[in-house]
Chain A
Amino acid sequence: MSLTEFDADRPPEKPRRRRGDGRRRRRRGLGEIGMGDGSREGAVVEDVEFERADEYGSYYGRPVVKAPPWKAPIAVYLFLGGVAGGSGLLAFGAQCTRRPLLRRNARLVALGTVGLGTVALIEDLGRPERFLNMMRTVKVTSPMSLGTWVVGGFASLSGVLGALEVDRMTGRKLPLGPLRPLLGAAEGPASLGQVVLAPLLASYTGALLGNTIVPTWEAGRGHLSYLFASSASLAAGGAAMVTTPVAEAGPARLLAAAGVAGDVVSMHRMKESMHPLEREPLETGTPGKLLTWAERLAVAGGIGALLGGRSRVVAAASGAALLTASALTRFGVLNAGLESVKDPRRVIEPQKARLAARRAAGITDDSITAGG
């Protein structure tokens, strides 16, 4: 029996005759419905509660837009890509300022993270075997397309530089043969290429998430690149602090501290610029918790890097805290976006507000709804 206000308009119904002893019939599985055993026709539908559409400011509270089917591997990729980009920059700086250990470690970290990140990226595709279809085209309107080329280029160059470092570490024992002189000659151009692509690898993911209609990411469009570049800086600094002796890790500590400052500031500015409904997913629930801890760890790691960075133990602990902070930031921002599409008010209210603002400003000709 369903009850709505409209039932008042219907003529009175005769009470239904109950079968047998009036006990409630058991719920039946789909297979039994209808003909069932064939002896009689059963009730096809169980009693259902109906909802009124106008109790919502939307269509039964159902989402208006859809979240991308991106899961944990994408957050892992965002994190690893950031570490790779930052490490690429550190490696180049170390090469220029003759810090061989920092250079070697940063190059190896860059290769490892970009490699794992690419695997995570492919893993999250619906048809991973078609990954290379990304290379069919270059599209400026698609941050994903440009990003794929950046990742691909960065990974290839990192491969060259990583092979070189491994060869050096093992005392030229890699079976490179005649390729060894070629590899040596490629070091200069490869590291130049890497340093060009590195900052883009770290920041393009802001455009990737920003160029969507997912309410929280859309609202953060203007800030996500700053946030992600900062997060990449502190993570790469942290990775170098973990892997490299303190004597050579000075620049990594400074970069990490700068990254923490940028991270905290850009996150707060991003939140301030948002409609309260768009901001809410960043501050509540699991994403809110992740982001709160990300900020705490980042600040702690930054202070540790600046004040205790000359102690190997403190440096490593701070580095680990920074890496964790960056990972939490990426998971938090990704999940906040995925969460934000679930409530249609987060789409409808900000859109109505911006439409009303344009109308108030006298722009009445760009609405999708027209009187005729």
Chain B
Amino acid sequence: MSLLAGEEGPAAQSGWGHDHERKGFFTDTSICIGCKACEVACKEWNRNPIDGNLEILGSSYDNTGALGANTWRHVAFVEQGRERIEEARESGRKLVSLGMPGIGPKSSGARGATPAGDLSQVDRTPPDTPEFRWLMSSDVCKHCTNAGCLDVCPTGAIFRSEFGSVVVQQDVCNGCGTCVSACPFGVIERRDDGTVSPFAVREEEDPRRGTASKCTLCYDRLVDGEEPACSATCPTQSITFGDHPDLAEDAKQRVADLHARGMTEARLYGTNPKDGVGGTGSVFLLLDEPEVYGLPPDPQVPTKSLPKTYARTGLAAAGMVAAVALSFLGARR
């Protein structure tokens, strides 16, 4: 990681180093039933307006569309046939044989080294592959370790809470929109049409109008010792809330269990602290490639290469000064 992102430099001081344990979500999509209770609970608790106009989007049971200013939980629905399932199994198996950290028997080597015993050859084919399957996954703000939105916010409206979550102060944000383009997951968005109750009398002014808006990990509930609305309501415990290290441990255990049952399509998303965003606070267990769920396959926080970008800016400025100086020296009267 560079000077402006990671464990060193100014980003490291942005709200870390307090007594609370970092909190987060573990979303296990293998037991999600697509009931959308999380979406509803989120909207109710946070008083978020609806997106769109109740139209049917024609994408399985997903009529929400995507995460955005008004939608802080989004359940994705994907229908797949046997061929695609087999591809997912193969790609998940490959991830293990690449030597991703943490799976299988403990290796004695360095972190990230290929685990002892080559797992890629182990026959873990389940007795049958289903004809088709439904992937359901509740997506949410990732609360990144190196959060692009927090880094680029020019007003300081976005801060790192004592729970390790990334929260927008709605009364400070002036709606410049820089954070929207700094989120590698397309989560945060500016709420431009802000009414709390779209079909009712629009007397109530939305205090979040014109400001950036996203999941707060229910900051208001956390300070009262409650868990977030979505995980509290999830009927299958697909969404679990807790201390981040425990969740990461649970996630690894769960993926190992699934692999042992032959479901090699299972993989983790966001548990690796060495990834482009320093690991995420919300980790996911996915059953296919991330892009199938609308997640980026290799997100990188833009701040990571900012020192290099600044260097180019400096060079460009110096070049411009030189060009002006030469123009004055070279010009005849």
Contacts and interface: CB of A to CB of B under 8 A. Distances in A.
Contacts of B131: 9
Contacts, number: 367
Interface string B52-88: 0110111110100110100000001111110010000
A368 B309 contact: no
Contacts of B173: 126-127, 130, 133
Interface in B292-325: 292-300, 302-303, 305-306, 308-310, 312-321, 323-325
- A: interface residue count bin: 35 or more
Interface string A202-241: 1110111011111001100111111011101100010000
B172 to A, nearest CB: 6
Interface string A111-139: 00000000000001111101101101101
Contact of B320 (A67, A68, A199, A223): A199
Contact of B309 (A51, A210, A213): A210
B328 A52 contact: no
Interface size class of B (residues with CB under 8 A): 35 or more
A68 B181 contact: yes
A352 B303 CA distance: 20
A186 interface: no
A232 B320 contact: yes
A69 interface: yes
Given A53-B59, A64-B294, A65-B296, A200 B326 contact: no
A354 B268 CA distance: 20
Contacts of B321: 89, 199
A46 B56 CA distance: 9
Given A58-B291, A60-B57, A145-B153, 7 more contacts: A50-B60, A51-B58, A127-B174, A133-B174, A247-B333, A258-B323, A355-B297
Given A251-B331, A370-B267, A348 B317 contact: no
A304 interface: no
A126 to B, nearest CB: 2
B267 A207 contact: no
A232 to B, nearest CB: 7
A265 B102 CA distance: 48
A371 B265 CA distance: 9
Contacts of A133: 155, 157, 172-174
B268 A369 contact: yes
B152 A134 contact: no
Nearest to A70: B177
Interface of A: 4-6, 9, 30, 45-46, 48-54, 57-60, 62-70, 85-86, 89-90, 93, 96-97, 124-128, 130-131, 133-134, 136-137, 139-145, 148, 199-200, 202-204, 206-208, 210-214, 217-218, 221-226, 228-230, 232-233, 237, 247, 250-255, 258-259, 262, 344, 347-348, 351-352, 354-355, 359, 364-372
Contacts of A359: 98
A134 B84 CA distance: 49
B275 A367 contact: yes
Interface stretch (B39-47, B225-233, B237-245, B252-260): B252-260
Interface stretch (B28-36, B121-129, B184-192): B184-192
Contact of B293 (A59, A65, A229): A59
Contact of A139 (B60, B103, B156, B312): B156
B312 A225 contact: yes
Q: Rank and list the top 7 A-B pairs by shortest CB-CB distance, nearest first.
A: A126-B175, A372-B103, A126-B210, A59-B294, A250-B331, A365-B112, A199-B317
A226 B270 CA distance: 35
B294 A4 contact: no
**Most chain A Cβ neighbours within 10 Å, of B172, B298, B324:** B324
Given A59-B293, A206-B316, A226-B316, A370 B102 contact: yes
Interface in B90-115: 92, 95-96, 98-104, 111-112
Given A69-B192, A347-B296, A364-B98, A255 B154 contact: no
Given A51-B58, A69-B190, A206-B316, A251 B180 contact: no
B291 A364 contact: no
Nearest to B321: A199
A108 B10 CA distance: 39
8 contacts: A6-B81, A54-B79, A207-B312, A226-B316, A254-B326, A254-B330, A351-B296, A372-B267
A81 B61 CA distance: 47
B138 interface: no
B276 interface: yes
B174 A49 contact: no
B211 interface: yes
B152 A96 contact: no
A225 B189 CA distance: 26
B186 A65 contact: yes
A368 B271 CA distance: 7
